[in-house]
Amino acid sequence: MSQTEKRAGLLRRTSSSKKPLKEKVVLMYEDIFAEEPTKSNPRFWDELFLMKVNLEYLEGKLESLDGDEVLRVKDNINSLFQHCVQALAEEHQIKVVNALQTLCALFRGVHQKNRSATGFDIINMLMGFDKAELRMKELMESLDALLCGDGSQSLKSLCLKLLLCLVTVTDNISQNTILEYVMINSIFEAILQILSDVSSRAQHGYDAVVLLALLVNYRKYESVNPYIVKLSIVDDEPTLDGMGRVIHHALAEYNRQYKEKEEENQGGFFSTLTSMVGSMFIADADEKLSVQTNEAILLALYEAVHLNRNFITVLAQSHPEIDIATTPAVPVPASPLTPLGTTPPSLDMMNNPELPLDPNLQTSNLLITFLKYSSIVMQDTKDEHRLNSARLCLIILTCIAEDQYADAFLHDDNMNFRVNLHRMPMRHRKKAADKSNPSRPLVCAVLDLMVEFIVTHMMKEFPMDLYVRCVQIIHKLICYQKKCRVRMHYTWRELWSALINLLKFLLSNETILLSKHNIFQLALQVVNLFNMFITYGDTFLPTPSSYDELYYEIIRMHQVFDNLYCMVLRVSTNAGQWKEPASKVTHALVNVRAIINHFNPKIESYAAVNHISQLSEDQVLEVVRTNYDTLTLKLQDGLDQFERYSEQPREAGFFKELVRSISLNVRKNVSLSTMSQDVLLKEFSSIS
Amino acid sequence: MGDTELELSPAQLEELQKSPSASSTSSTSSLSLPSSPSSGPRPLTSSSPSTSESLPTSSPPLDVISEGVGELSLVIDTEVAKKACQEVLQKVKFLKADGEVSSASSEPVLVNGTAHPESTDGGKPPKISQEEAELVKNVRRRQKNNSSKQSWLLRLFESKLFDISMAISYLYNSKEPGVQAYIGNRLFSFRNEDVDFYLPQLLNMYIHMDEDVGDAIKPYVVYRCRQSINFSLQCAWLLGAYSSDMHISTQRHSRGTKLRKLILSDELKPSSQRIRREVPQPPPSCPPPFHHGQGMSEHSLSPSKRTHQRSKSDATVSISLSSNLKRTASNPKVETSQDEDLSSSSDSLELEAGTPVRLTPQREFIKSLMGIGKRLATLPTKEQKTQRLISELSLLNHKLPARVWLPTAAFDHHVVRVPHTQAVVLNSKDKAPYLIYVEVLECENFETSSVPVRIPETRIRSTRSVENLPDCGITPDQRASSFSTVPNYDNDDEAWSVDDIGELQVELPEIHTNSYDNISQFSVDSITSQESKEPIFIAAGDIRRRLSEQLAHTPTTFRRDPEDPSAVALKEPWQEKVRRIREGSPYGHLPNWRLLSVIVKCGDDLRQELLAYQVLKQLQIIWEQERVPLWIKPYKILVISSDSGMIEPVVNAVSIHQVKKQSQLLLLDYFRQEHGNYNTEEFLTAQRNFVQSCAGYCLICYLLQVKDRHNGNILLDSEGHIIHIDFGFILSSSPRNLGFETSAFKLTSEFVDVMGGLDGDMFNYYKMLMLQGLIAARKHMEKVIQIVEIMQQGSQLPCFHGSSTIRNLKERFHMNLTEEQLQVLVEQMVDGSMRSITTKLYDGFQYLTNGIM
């Protein structure tokens, strides 16, 4: 990214009308870069922070310094930094505001200047190496005090912006050495406090959550990150719930925007046209529908789900879909936030956040919103961003599917929800009427989403790893059902036919796919899913007839399995890199083949005896039912075992890249000047 | 009606005569009254109207009374007691003498059933009035004179037969302040539970009757309020509910409203010294109100507390090692809250310290439950209601555990969690009653025991996560001084995952491990012994068979029906539900964990339900006493206001409507499906249960004139009993006031089929039970009547509509019929009920207008 562009983004407001006429503050900056500023004016520092900050000038100046100048003015910059930190403790709020903004300019300017420089050099230039630890300690303590104090909300907002700015000054967060001090002087508690409080959460929740997600990713794999440790043990429900709500809100907002655009596009003439002409225009429509995805929030959700086991409960915490922003941020009555029901509950019972009474509001929870979000994101995985988002969604779902508690509520028969997943408009199917969608346990929605993904992504740019994750998620859910004997009334048939179609696709595109992917791994997983149903179906299928249907589906599509068998047999007999994976698939197919070989002759003879050319479904089922007893199956090992998700080492690269892209994005969007000086002045003039 | 107060009911008299102590002619001073506090003269004199008038502002008279009770309950001073009683009786006679001329009019009470002394009452009073002047001096002599009515009364009051029911009766009927005051004092001597049963009557008298009655009752109520939060709240709710029928202007200044305000203002709390003095001498049956230091001991014993604490401190250690923290734990608030909790519970005398929120938590708890009901009512569909209910309750969960409890429960406890996903909305047209299950921890005393510590939903994880945290043994110095990468350890994932698998297997016990299931065993074996490469073969037919067998073996469950969400929830056997919820609860491992359930009704007046409960309970006691094997199930009612309350649900029972809709079977076929074929013991037991409950409820329906008996209002429990619910139309009220439900009770041919048909032995048994039940009820009619009669005072309830409610009720006991006649009556009623459904409505009408009974 170019610097000009960035600056433009940063300074859009202030840069408009500033012309040669030099402001007082610029003169003062010049003093700093020229000489010992206090020499001419002993009250220089006092005055400086009363001046409105000129970010543009300051950053530009810092960037333009060359090596010699840096050495010369280093002491002055150190001094400026020191005075900024001191000013944070000032009572005069204007000074605090200006100091915060100056600090931000300092961090940015110095980093812009020294792209290639080591972290030590930067620290040295800003604070002086010997003082660094002390300065940063003071800085973090001041920020913590500001964030936790009762002060102005705008100030808190600025503090968070400064922190975001500091965290994202480097492209690779792990190379940002200054963060080492943020690790030592933790602001974790301040972030939690913001999230636990209703009003502050509404205003700063988003920034706080993003900040936390980024901090957790600092040197995640190389050292002990205290934020990881702390995040993993948070068990205060209001706080976790607050975090969940911030994420929920962000995702729901995305869903809403998407839906609005979708409706816009479908209005009137256009929609009739699309439906008439077919899918030609749909590609266009999709382009328009792309709303910027929000990986930062998704990362936060991932870290919360992955690191903190108590957060899982938040996923199921149902509440009506409310817009956090629109709920009036009424300052919570003086009573401090009640710590977990141990205080007299009267206090918190009384300010029970009453849910708005709107019959049209669907009750929702974070998981439902997340599933909807995923369904949108997964529709289009062509562009890199969305592919990554989809991948992250599937990783999160993997973590959820592995969690015992999450599985419990996913399968809870008493928690039924309508989840309207977004479905990609496709030529060969009509857009399902959403209203008919029944209320079901949440696991059905997850399975629906997986099925939807499977049927909609059989394309040339085959997202192999997403498919693998997808099938793994299904497998994990079924393992839970088998173990706990949960019988879901799910239309398993849709899943079976989707899986068989997937195998079909793999077969027909064998040559193209094999050049890039190990398709045998995926085929093995799919076949093993069938093996789960065949050998353990008695433990989790809802009815005996669903077991019959499974056989029917296999027999009906036996061609696919036959072809698969031929293919894997061929590959496994040839020497080559795929020999072993292919032979695994041959072994896995033994039961499917046994079924096909057992029933096909029976069906044929039935047809012959009864002189029917084409058997109806019921007739086939009848044959199946009467011929079970002569069929012997082989019990395969380890069908209900799975490898648990682990971020390291497999996903480390993905997350590094993800965090890098998030950092760039956040840096681009953090704008200190969004809050105009006027607003601040107005707010603080009365105070001071 | 000057005479009524001295009237003894036939049952009372009969018992009195039978009782050995009463029939002995020796002087009453020899009677030992162990439970009687034998009111001294002081309480009696203090009962003059003026003294208790000052109650709301200061409590001296109360002190006198309560202290008096304490002292006297130790030393039984029969002399004093007797003297007091005599004084009272003397006053009675004065009164009687005055009103003699006017009140000597005929007495309408039916006394012609059995001969007893009262039949001669008419002649006595004049004689006594002549002797009046000498009475005081000649007390002893007069007491020996057994024929004297006053002596009967005195002896009755002092005998151990004098129970709370009689006390209430005399309190209500007597117009004499002395008698009222005496009984007011005697209230202290009854067991708390006994008096609690009559609390609605007491409070209704307090609200609607004259001052003397109120003054007699008030000290007792105030005393009990000081003792118990629960009692205070019950009183406040009942006072509010029973005052609501008054005109708004009088209501505001009425005694009931004032007392309610006093209670809710929370001024009636035990002051510290008095508690101490009372502790050693509580009434014998009631548990000691305060256990000093007990909260502390329980606190330290609680296992949850310990683990929680430990994990917390582990966390603290590991984190503080890793970096310099200002606040140590994951969240500062958690720490402080625990500290507060510790300090408050170590100070087990928190109540004496005068916490301002003695009643508040519970009131807020109830208020939020009612709030939920109100909000649910605005939602259009069952599905939305259910979802909203679940989400509202999950919010409520955040505030638990707390010092709140369910008043319908029989033991002291704290509510710790509401398993919100188990809650269901019940069937109702426009209201939204709902059923919730509540997890509680039983405790010694909910007022003093410490509130349990919150355990997060994912209990196991949280403790585990801390223990497994990678060792963060890097000092901040190391970190700061060198930026070199610290030797890597494998991050978080491995640390959890291993345990998780173990946890997966430990945590969830295999459900239904039956003998057929060796598959999973195989698979485990094959994993462990990878070497043995011998393939295992299974028959596909076995899998299919197992599937169908397992589905067949699961107990009959109801299908999920979005329009009737409660059916499934209610059908699940209670024990099963308890086990299931306990498994899923973070508190489930605690030994004192219990599951309760309650129906929250918002927008419904439960006062009639409460009345019905009392009558049912009374009849149940009577039948038990008389050894009539009728079975009824009175369910507890909590009236909170005139339009809200709570009901204790009948467990293991679904409505007959649901049974029929879900099973699509006739009742008899359903019985066979549930309990086996005709001659199995299970079926016969269920059939007997059905008959006994049916007979019981038929009598109830007849006596109370319970209407609106459709199948949705009749439950069938898992043992075959039927249970009638919804007593919205009783006594003088019926739906739309059209008498179309003209039969005495509901008896359908399906019911008769279950009983084995009209000619079966069981059907005869049914009629015989009804006859026995009616005879027994008749014998104790007074006890039943009085419950209803007192509640009629000042009431606008539809069941009291008209002037003849009580008279009609009395008539239904048929005091004037012989047992043979009663038998005929029962036959006729059964016949009539049968016919009213088999014949057309017109026939029923004919039947009625022709006056054939």
CATH number at residue B730: 1.10.1070.11
DSSP letters along B556-578, please?
Answer: P-PPP-TT-THHHHHHS-HHHHH
Instruction: Pick B361's closest partner by Cβ from A345, A362, A547.
Output: A345
* Chain B partners within 8 Å of A346 (Cβ): 357, 360-361, 363-364
Pairwise CA distance, residues B93 & B150, whole Å: 9
Pairwise CA distance, residues B645 & B607, whole Å: 9
The reply to whether B619 and B589 lie within a common domain is no
pLDDT digits 0-9 by tens, B757-778: 888 888 889 989 999 999 999 9
Closest Cα in chain B, distance from residue A629 (Å):
4
Instruction: Pick A344's closest partner by Cβ from B357, B394, B560.
Output: B357
Q: What local confidence, expressed as pLDDT, does residue A163 receive?
A: 92
Closest Cα in chain B, distance from residue A662 (Å):
22
| A285 inside domain | no
The reply to whether B714 and B837 lie within a common domain is yes
* C-beta separation of B765 from B691 below 8 A: yes
Could you tell me the residue range of the domain that residue B599 belongs to? 378-450+563-603
Pairwise CA distance, residues B140 & B572, whole Å: 66
The reply to whether B807 and B714 lie within a common domain is yes
Chain A contact for B264, CB < 8 A?
Answer: no
Pairwise CA distance, residues A84 & A111, whole Å: 18
B736 has pLDDT over 70 = no
| B234 inside domain | yes
Distant-in-sequence, close-in-space partners of B96: CB < 8 Å, separation ≥ 6: B2, B103, B125, B128, B129
Residues of B546-574 as b/e, b for ≥16 C-beta within 10 angstroms?
A: bbeebeeeeeeebebeeebbbbbbbbbeb
The reply to whether B576 and B664 lie within a common domain is no
Return the number of other C-beta atoms located less than 10 Å from residue A650's C-beta: 10
Q: What local confidence, expressed as pLDDT, does residue B792 receive?
A: 86
Pairwise CA distance, residues B161 & B292, whole Å: 36
Closest CA to A313 of B394, B774, B229, B309: B394
Closest Cα in chain B, distance from residue A310 (Å):
6
Pairwise CA distance, residues A216 & A210, whole Å: 10
| A232 inside domain | no
The reply to whether A671 and A564 lie within a common domain is no
The reply to whether A37 and A170 lie within a common domain is yes
Q: How is residue B373 written in tokens?
A: 């009901």
Phi/psi at B653 (nearest 5 deg)?
-140, 140
Pairwise CA distance, residues B386 & A413, whole Å: 13
Q: What local confidence, expressed as pLDDT, does residue A495 receive?
A: 94
* C-beta separation of A232 from A311 below 8 A: no
Residue of B nearest to A624 (CA): B541
The reply to whether B674 and B795 lie within a common domain is yes
Give the count of domains, chain B: 3
Q: What local confidence, expressed as pLDDT, does residue B556 receive?
A: 54
Residue count of chain A, please give it.
688
Instruction: Pick A340's closest partner by Cβ from B337, B395, B472.
Output: B337
Q: What local confidence, expressed as pLDDT, does residue A449 receive?
A: 93
pLDDT digits 0-9 by tens, B504-520: 333 333 333 333 333 44
Pairwise CA distance, residues A113 & B769, whole Å: 100
The reply to whether B733 and B694 lie within a common domain is yes
Pairwise CA distance, residues B725 & B713, whole Å: 5
- Candidates B384, B543, B572: best to mutate against A (most CBs of A within 10 A) is B543
Query: Would the CB atoms of B457 and A405 count as touching at under 8 Å?
Result: yes
Phi/psi at A117 (nearest 5 deg)?
-65, 155
Q: Give the B window 338-377 contacts with A, CB below 8 Å.
A: 338, 340-341, 355, 357, 360-361, 363-365, 367-368, 371, 375
Closest Cα in chain A, distance from residue B448 (Å):
14
* Chain B partners within 8 Å of A177 (Cβ): 483
The reply to whether A667 and A605 lie within a common domain is no
Pairwise CA distance, residues B185 & B218, whole Å: 10
Instruction: Pick B491's closest partner by Cβ from A221, A354, A634.
Output: A221
Closest CA to B198 of B488, B596, B500, B611: B611
Q: What local confidence, expressed as pLDDT, does residue B327 receive?
A: 34
B413-417 vs B637-641, strand pairing mode: unpaired
Query: Would the CB atoms of B331 and A349 count as touching at under 8 Å?
Result: no
Q: What local confidence, expressed as pLDDT, does residue B123 receive?
A: 40
| A342 inside domain | no
Q: How far is CA A444 from CA A161, A474, A478, A536, B584, in A?
A: 41, 11, 12, 19, 21
The reply to whether A627 and A494 lie within a common domain is yes
Q: Strand, coil or helix: what is B601?
A: strand
Q: Which of B246, B265, B284 is the C-terminal boundary of a domain?
A: B265
Q: What local confidence, expressed as pLDDT, does residue A115 receive?
A: 64
Q: How is residue B464 written in tokens?
A: 């585990």
The reply to whether B693 and B616 lie within a common domain is yes
* C-beta separation of A417 from A440 below 8 A: yes
Distant-in-sequence, close-in-space partners of B845: CB < 8 Å, separation ≥ 6: B742
Closest CA to A350 of B825, B509, B363: B363
* Chain A partners within 8 Å of B404 (Cβ): 345
Pairwise CA distance, residues A492 & A542, whole Å: 10
Residue of B nearest to A410 (CA): B421
Q: What local confidence, expressed as pLDDT, does residue B562 receive?
A: 64
Pairwise CA distance, residues B753 & B762, whole Å: 10
Per the prediction, chain A carries an average pLDDT of 80
Q: How confident is the model at residue B206 (pLDDT cuts 50, 70, 90)?
A: confident
Closest CA to A185 of A141, A215, A227: A141
Q: What local confidence, expressed as pLDDT, does residue B83 receive?
A: 59
The reply to whether A149 and A48 lie within a common domain is yes
pLDDT digits 0-9 by tens, B416-461: 998 888 888 887 767 788 999 999 999 888 877 888 888 877 654 3
Closest CA to A471 of A536, A430, A523: A523
Closest CA to A305 of A238, A370, A380, A387: A370
Query: Would the CB atoms of A635 and B550 count as touching at under 8 Å?
Result: no
Q: Give the B window 539-568 contacts with A, CB below 8 Å.
A: 539-541, 543-544, 546-548, 550-551, 560, 562
pLDDT digits 0-9 by tens, B588-609: 888 899 999 999 998 888 888 9
Pairwise CA distance, residues A82 & A139, whole Å: 9
* C-beta separation of B735 from B801 below 8 A: no
Distant-in-sequence, close-in-space partners of A402: CB < 8 Å, separation ≥ 6: A476, A644, A645, B500
* Chain A partners within 8 Å of B535 (Cβ): 634-635
Give the residue ranges of chain A where pLDDT is below 70. 1-21, 37, 114-117, 266-291, 318-363, 426-437, 671-688
Residue of B nearest to A345 (CA): B361
Provide the total of helices (H) and of strands (E) in chain B, helices listed first: 40, 10
B96 has pLDDT over 90 = no
Residue of A nearest to B475 (CA): A184
Chain A contact for B379, CB < 8 A?
Answer: yes
Residue of B nearest to A415 (CA): B421
The reply to whether A628 and A491 lie within a common domain is yes
Pairwise CA distance, residues A525 & A527, whole Å: 5
Q: How is residue A173 written in tokens?
A: 């967060």
Closest Cα in chain A, distance from residue B567 (Å):
12
Phi/psi at B637 (nearest 5 deg)?
-125, 135
B236 has pLDDT over 50 = yes
The reply to whether A676 and A533 lie within a common domain is no
Instruction: Pick A346's closest partner by Cβ from B361, B378, B476.
Output: B361
Could you report how far apart the first and last alpha carbons of chain B are, in Å?
A: 33
Query: Would the CB atoms of A342 and B338 count as touching at under 8 Å?
Result: yes
Residue count of chain B, please give it.
853
Q: Which of B265, B294, B325 is the C-terminal boundary of a domain?
A: B265
Could you tell me the residue range of the domain that residue A606 belongs to? 484-643
The reply to whether A607 and A673 lie within a common domain is no
Closest Cα in chain B, distance from residue A624 (Å):
10
| A473 inside domain | no
The reply to whether A63 and A137 lie within a common domain is yes
The reply to whether B730 and B787 lie within a common domain is yes
Q: What local confidence, expressed as pLDDT, does residue A478 receive?
A: 94
**Span B124-134, average pLDDT:** 43
* Chain B partners within 8 Å of A185 (Cβ): 324
Query: Would the CB atoms of A415 and B390 count as touching at under 8 Å?
Result: yes
**Span B318-326, average pLDDT:** 35
Give the count of domains, chain A: 2
The reply to whether A106 and A77 lie within a common domain is yes
Query: Would the CB atoms of A341 and B402 count as touching at under 8 Å?
Result: yes
Q: How is residue A19 written in tokens?
A: 């012309």
B146 has pLDDT over 60 = no
Q: Peptide bond preceding B401: is omega within 30 degrees of 0, i.e. cis?
A: yes
Chain A contact for B325, CB < 8 A?
Answer: yes
Q: Strand, coil or helix: what is B513?
A: coil
| A369 inside domain | no
Q: How confident is the model at residue B150 (pLDDT cuts 50, 70, 90)?
A: low
* Chain A partners within 8 Å of B379 (Cβ): 359
How many CA atoms, within 13 angstroms, populate the side-chain half-sphere of residue B351? 30
* C-beta separation of B557 from B572 below 8 A: yes
Distant-in-sequence, close-in-space partners of A391: CB < 8 Å, separation ≥ 6: A465, A466, A469, A654
Q: How far is CA A24 from CA A21, A88, A109, in A?
A: 10, 22, 20
For residue A485, with 0-12 CB atoms within 10 Å meaning exposed, 13-18 middle and 19 or more buried, which class applies? middle
Phi/psi at B417 (nearest 5 deg)?
-165, 145
Residue of B nearest to A336 (CA): B333
Pairwise CA distance, residues B676 & B113, whole Å: 47
Query: Would the CB atoms of B543 and A547 count as touching at under 8 Å?
Result: yes
Q: How is residue A540 written in tokens?
A: 């989790």
B637-641 vs B653-655, strand pairing mode: unpaired
The conformation of residue A485, written as its DSSP 8-state character, comes to T
Return the number of other C-beta atoms located less than 10 Å from residue B416's C-beta: 27
The reply to whether B796 and B722 lie within a common domain is yes
Q: How is residue B217 written in tokens?
A: 């009752």
Closest Cα in chain A, distance from residue B367 (Å):
9
Pairwise CA distance, residues A451 & A255, whole Å: 20
Distant-in-sequence, close-in-space partners of A175: CB < 8 Å, separation ≥ 6: A119
Q: How confident is the model at residue B741 (pLDDT cuts 50, 70, 90)?
A: low
Q: What local confidence, expressed as pLDDT, does residue B170 receive?
A: 83
Closest Cα in chain B, distance from residue A491 (Å):
16
The reply to whether B590 and B613 lie within a common domain is no
* C-beta separation of A596 from A582 below 8 A: no
Closest Cα in chain A, distance from residue B377 (Å):
10
**Span B212-226, average pLDDT:** 84
Closest Cα in chain B, distance from residue A546 (Å):
10
Query: Would the CB atoms of B538 and A635 count as touching at under 8 Å?
Result: yes
| B843 inside domain | yes
The reply to whether A634 and A662 lie within a common domain is no
| A607 inside domain | yes
Q: What local confidence, expressed as pLDDT, does residue B396 receive?
A: 85
| B788 inside domain | yes
| A220 inside domain | no
The reply to whether B599 and B628 lie within a common domain is no
pLDDT digits 0-9 by tens, B66-94: 433 333 333 344 555 555 556 655 555 55
* C-beta separation of B604 from B644 below 8 A: yes
Closest CA to B419 of B443, B454, B394, B444: B394
Task: Answer whether 0.90 is exceeded by the pTM.
Answer: no
Q: Strand, coil or helix: what is B341?
A: helix
The reply to whether B700 and B586 lie within a common domain is no
* C-beta separation of A151 from A684 below 8 A: no
Q: How is residue B369 written in tokens?
A: 């439950």
The reply to whether A605 and A540 lie within a common domain is yes
pLDDT digits 0-9 by tens, B555-566: 556 666 666 777
| A567 inside domain | yes
Phi/psi at B544 (nearest 5 deg)?
-60, -40
